[in-house]
């Protein structure tokens, strides 16, 4: 296929992009698709528990990044929606497991009680497992208008991003670092590039893969995604200190309480914000060749540093 850049020239008078309206519209579409994605059948408890966390709100950033990236690369929302839902299923399962007493031990998530507080630890573990498996089933069975080789690439990429080479690898180094005061910046970067960054990168790349993006498109999008992934985590660490429990929808100040090494604990709050802004600028610059077509992804990058939760 031709490069996305060839089909896309920046215009002198770029229209102002309304991120608020964009987020509202895409969030609504994602909510509707997620609502339809899982039915409650026998044995009801597991499906109810999966739906409890999946439909608890959240910014839906990963699905929206996937849809926006697919559109930038010339695809449609319909092509990417099953993968977008699967990304949210995987993200939600990682939150359920992260909140368990054996991990971060949290009582609140997305403004409501965590899954294990409502259903018990045994059910919460299974709800996470159920969502993880279903995510891959959902991509394989629900994706339409995309050739099987592209779907296969998406499944392969996502599997790698979620396993020991991605989320799971980041989480274990995070657990091993708990209680240590001498965690290096390299280790902190490893943790967050894997634990948080890998799924954000997969969200962007899977959307583009579905649309048949070229290798050079994938390279640019990967640079964008890795930069926003790290910026996202730096701001997450800052918000843990500066935002309230009401704003966050989860316990605030947890990192300080657990004496965790974070970006603000190494750099301070102002320098952390500066580093995050620098990463966001670099992320946006990587998409300059796409002109106006990159407006949604660029605005989403800005949203990462401007958000309050
Ligand atoms: C993936 C197999 C598998 C197991 C899970 C527990 C675990 C392994 C990994 C932890 C991953 C984790 C919870 C990373 C934190 C990522 C993060 C910053 C989450 C907050 O994301 P937001 O702000 O949340 O997008 P909302 O609620 O808006 O969706």
Mutate to test the pocket of ligand 1, among 34, 52, 90, 91 (most ligand atoms within 8 A of CB): 91
- Is 92 within a domain? yes
Residue 79 is part of which domain span? 19-306
Question: Can you tell me which atom of ligand 1 is nearest the CA of 56?
Answer: 27
pLDDT tens track for 109-161: 999 999 999 999 999 999 999 999 999 999 999 999 999 999 999 999 999 99
- Is 243 within a domain? yes
Domain count, the chain: 1
d(CA 101, CA 93): 15
- Is 11 within a domain? no
- Is 141 within a domain? yes
| pLDDT reported for residue 243 | 92
- Is 101 within a domain? yes
- C-alpha angle 240/244/249, rounded to 5°? 85
| pLDDT reported for residue 307 | 86
Contact residues of ligand 1, CB 6 A cut-off: 58-59, 61, 91, 94-95, 97-98, 103, 110, 132, 162, 167-168, 171, 195-196, 233, 236
- Is 9 within a domain? no
Atom 16 of ligand 1, residue of closest alpha carbon: 196
Mutate to test the pocket of ligand 1, among 52, 90, 95 (most ligand atoms within 8 A of CB): 95
| pLDDT reported for residue 251 | 86
pLDDT tens track for 62-102: 999 999 999 999 999 999 999 999 999 999 999 999 999 99
CATH of the domain at 144: 1.10.600.10
- Is 219 within a domain? yes
> What is the whole-number distance in angstroms between the Cα of residue 71 and the centre of ligand 1?
25
> Over 60: is that where the pLDDT of 308 sits?
yes
d(CA 121, CA 127): 10
Question: Can you tell me which atom of ligand 1 is nearest the CA of 88?
Answer: 29
d(CA 201, CA 188): 18
- 288 CB-near residues (< 8 Å, 6+ apart): 294
- Is 56 within a domain? yes
> What is the whole-number distance in angstroms between the Cα of residue 94 and the centre of ligand 1?
5
Question: Can you tell me which atom of ligand 1 is nearest the CA of 103?
Answer: 6
> What is the whole-number distance in angstroms between the Cα of residue 196 and the centre of ligand 1?
6
Specify the long-range contacts of residues 178-184, CB closer than 8 Å, at least 24 apart: 178/258, 178/260, 179/259, 180/261, 181/259, 181/261, 183/261
What SS3 class is residue 108? strand
């Amino acid at each position: 296929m031709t490069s996305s850049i060839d089909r896309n020239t920046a215009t002198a008078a770029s229209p102002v992009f309304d991120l608020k309206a964009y987020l509202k519209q895409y969030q609504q579409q994602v909510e509707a698709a997620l609502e339809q994605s899982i039915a409650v059948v026998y044995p009801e408890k597991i499906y109810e528990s999966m739906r409890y966390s999946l439909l608890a709100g959240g910014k839906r950033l990963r699905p929206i990044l996937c849809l926006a990236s697919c559109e930038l690369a010339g695809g449609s929302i319909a092509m990417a929606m099953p993968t977008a839902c699967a990304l949210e299923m995987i993200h939600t399962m990682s939150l359920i497991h992260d909140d368990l007493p054996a991990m971060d031990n949290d009582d609140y998530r997305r403004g409501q009680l965590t899954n294990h507080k409502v259903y018990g630890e045994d059910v919460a573990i299974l709800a996470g497992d159920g969502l993880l498996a279903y995510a891959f089933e959902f991509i394989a069975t629900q994706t339409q208008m995309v050739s099987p080789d592209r779907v296969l690439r998406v499944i392969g990429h996502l599997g790698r991003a979620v396993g020991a080479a991605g989320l799971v690898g980041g989480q274990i180094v995070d657990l091993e670092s708990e209680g240590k005061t001498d965690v290096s910046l390299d280790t902190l970067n490893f943790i967050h590039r894997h634990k948080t960054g890998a799924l954000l990168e997969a969200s962007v790349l899977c959307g583009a893969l579905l649309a048949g993006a070229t290798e050079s498109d994938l390279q640019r999008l990967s640079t964008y995604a890795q930069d926003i992934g790290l910026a996202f985590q730096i701001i997450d660490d800052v918000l843990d200190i500066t935002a309230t429990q009401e704003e966050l929808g989860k316990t605030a100040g947890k990192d300080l309480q657990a004496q965790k090494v974070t970006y603000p604990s190494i750099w301070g709050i102002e320098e952390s914000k500066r580093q995050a802004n620098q990463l966001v600028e670099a992320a946006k610059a990587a998409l300059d060749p796409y002109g106006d077509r990159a407006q949604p992804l660029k605005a989403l990058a800005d949203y990462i540093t401007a958000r309050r939760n």
